[in-house]
Structure 1
Amino acid sequence: MKKWGNPARNLKHSATQRFSSQSFEAVGTVIESADPSFEPGQIVIAHGMGLGVDRDGGLACFVRADASWLVPLPSGLSPLEAATIGVAGFSAALAVDRLESMGVEPGFGPIAVTGATGGVGCQAVGMLARLGYEVVAVTSKPDSRGFFKTLGASEVIAPPGPSDRMLDKGMWAGAVDTVGSDVLAWLLRSARPEAIIASIGNAGGNRLPTSVIPFILRGITLTGINGNSPPTLRRRIWERLGTDLKMRRIASLARVIEPDEIDDVMVQMVAGRTQGRAVVAFCGA
């Protein structure tokens, strides 16, 4: 695959790097293919399906991948835009699509997005804002207000600390949570009746210190998002990412780096000193 990602049976490419020694995704050009669904010269996207976890990921000039992993680059996206979106933006789009399918519409009330400076969070903010939702970005980074205003957030707030309360004042018609633990518990107890909360990450921990009270007294729905989607859903979501879910100025979220910068950028990510996306360019892409 070529410089912006990780695709199909031998590709020259580049990749978006997230918290791993291997990239979870890649965008690139097919060099050769044993599957007639993909032709040399075609630009494709690869992510999930064990890529970068059970199998080598995108930190290489060439990647061999199963055809079932791949999605053709949508006509509405450039390779750099697709690599910037990556599995984080795909997961954010899944969450937005889920909220829509469960009946959450613009005008129903604020939608909270937690962990909002991360790859999933910032893209969820931008997608929801583009669709006309009132978006509240929840972040512990107080210097990021200007960043979120450019993405379309109507408000930026800090998450509260842990609490033993079972219910708070209802504020959210829906939410996209990337943090888990105490932050997800707070969203549940502060959601409005019949709200939908999409859980997509565990940056704050795996445990969920909550009770049944938000579910049985307010009818809250907690729905999980899994980025390893079947091919039909995967292609539909990527088509949306090139059309109605395409963030304005998506490429502006990307910092394009060279392979020898990866270690330093990863240290900054783990320390919480980054926002947006880092895209690794390989082989002169």
Structure 2
Amino acid sequence: MSDTAFKALQISETEDGNYQRNIIQRQIGDLPEGELLIRVRYSSLNYKDALSAVGNKGVTRSYPHTPGIDAAGVVEASESGDFKAGDEVIVTGFDLGMNTAGGYGQYIRIPAGWALPCPDGLDLHTAMIYGTAGFTAALSVAGLESREVAPADGPILVTGASGGVGSVAVGILARAGYDVTAVTGKADQHDFLKHLGARDVVGRDVLDDPKGKPLLKPQWAGAVDTVGGGVLVNVLKSLYYGGTATCCGLVASPKMEGATVFPFILRGVNLLGIDSVEVPLAKRPAIWQRLAGAWRVPALEERARTVSLEELDGEIDRILAGEQVGRVVVELD
């Protein structure tokens, strides 16, 4: 079977230091060693995938490379007692699509410890509507719960709300009974966010602080921040006493310039980092079952788009330009 050919998106570095995307034919024998060979049916598009596709060495160290940090498919061959041929599985995080050939190829080979059975209640396609973005959003909401932030405590702010993580977070929070304020720079996406369950949709200027005050008027009991930078700094300044913000992104900036300790020592706020890559396998099924059950967001699923591998190139450019709304699933068949 090692000479079986399959289709994959490959990112290559050119002699002049640029990066090009091509759909090529690979062979299964070219894949890294691993206990599971999986026939990928679906993947999804995440910001990290786009960074890998343009040669970001903080995501992918060496090229040529096939991105795709998410994959859903069927086990083709197994050397693990935990899985057998024909099992439907999902893979998110770990090293998939970063330095290990990822879900933008029709086959992947991985350690068995990276895979989960497809959750009851989700098919492979729907699982990839959520993917890493949905898993990250769910971890963020679970983080708020862990600090006992309840719907009765007050409104919850979601930044970057029209993007992948943000849109899922809006939907989950609304389904869980929270009063959600969604922040977006896209004026044409207000109806989309209202459809997901946001009570209020506001522009980014709600978090402006031109004077650089150490504290701002308290407005939110909690927040799911997906962008980082100065936005996160001002979110922390605007939390109620004892409020909690989760942090999972850096599209605005990895630096928190202007941050002080005042929100922490004068209002007792909490900042929780959310990592979806290295979460231990044993902790993942419970989060996925919530996504498949009480936290499932039908309004998000209705608006998700499915594209082919051949159509993915344009979608990568769209997400890098900040134009992606909701979730994009990649079909590998």
Q: Fold match, TM over 0.5?
A: yes
Is residue 2:117 matched to residue 1:72? Answer: yes
Letter in 2 for 1:77: L
Provide the residue aligned with 1:244 in structure 2: 294
The structural deviation recorded for 1:171 is 0.5
Provide the residue aligned with 1:275 in structure 2: 325
Q: What pairs with 1:148-187 in structure 2 (closer than 5 Å)?
A: 148-160=193-205, 161-163=208-210, 164-187=212-235
TM score, norm. by length of structure 2: 0.81
Q: What pairs with 1:31-110 in structure 2 (closer than 5 Å)?
A: 31-110=76-155
User: Which of 178, 189, 193 matches 1:133?
Assistant: 178
The structural deviation recorded for 1:248 is 2.1
Provide the residue aligned with 1:257 in structure 2: 307
Q: Aligned partners of 1:276 and 1:63: how far apart in 2?
A: 26
Q: Is the 8 A contact 2:36 2:110 kept in 1?
A: yes
Q: Aligned partners of 2:121 and 2:220: how far apart in 1?
A: 32
**Any runs of at least 4 consecutive aligned residues in structure 1 with deviations exceeding 4 A, and if so which?**
none
Letter in 2 for 1:182: G
The structural deviation recorded for 1:159 is 1.8
The structural deviation recorded for 1:8 is 7.2
Provide the residue aligned with 1:10 in structure 2: 37
Q: Is the 8 A contact 2:38 2:75 kept in 1?
A: yes
Provide the residue aligned with 1:4 in structure 2: none
Which segments of 5 or more consecutive residues in structure 2 lack a partner in the other structure?
1-33, 54-66
Letter in 2 for 1:200: C
Q: Is the 8 A contact 2:35 2:79 kept in 1?
A: no
Q: Aligned partners of 1:63 and 1:85: how far apart in 2?
A: 20
Aligned length: 277
User: Which of 212, 233, 247 matches 2:261?
Assistant: 212
TM score, norm. by length of structure 1: 0.94
Bigger Rg, structure 1 or 2: 2
Q: Aligned partners of 1:136 and 1:26: how far apart in 2?
A: 31
1:58-105 deviation per Cα after TM superposition (whole angstroms, max 9, x unaligned): 111111111100111111112111011000100100010111111001
Change (3 A) 1:162 1:56: farther
- Higher fraction of strand: 2
Instruction: Name the % identity.
Output: 39
The structural deviation recorded for 1:37 is 0.7
- Of residues 246-255 and 164-173 in structure 1, the stretch that sits farther from structure 2 once superposed is 246-255
Letter in 1 for 2:229: S
1:204-255 deviation per Cα after TM superposition (whole angstroms, max 9, x unaligned): 0010021111111100101100102001111111111111111124422321
Provide the residue aligned with 1:119 in structure 2: 164
Change (3 A) 1:8 1:127: farther
Q: Aligned partners of 2:111 and 2:182: how far apart in 1?
A: 37
Q: Aligned partners of 1:61 and 1:231: how far apart in 2?
A: 24
Letter in 1 for 2:148: G
Letter in 1 for 2:147: M
Q: Aligned partners of 1:69 and 1:33: how far apart in 2?
A: 13
The structural deviation recorded for 1:262 is 1.1
Q: Is the 8 A contact 1:8 1:70 kept in 2?
A: no
Provide the residue aligned with 2:68 in structure 1: 23
Provide the residue aligned with 2:57 in structure 1: none
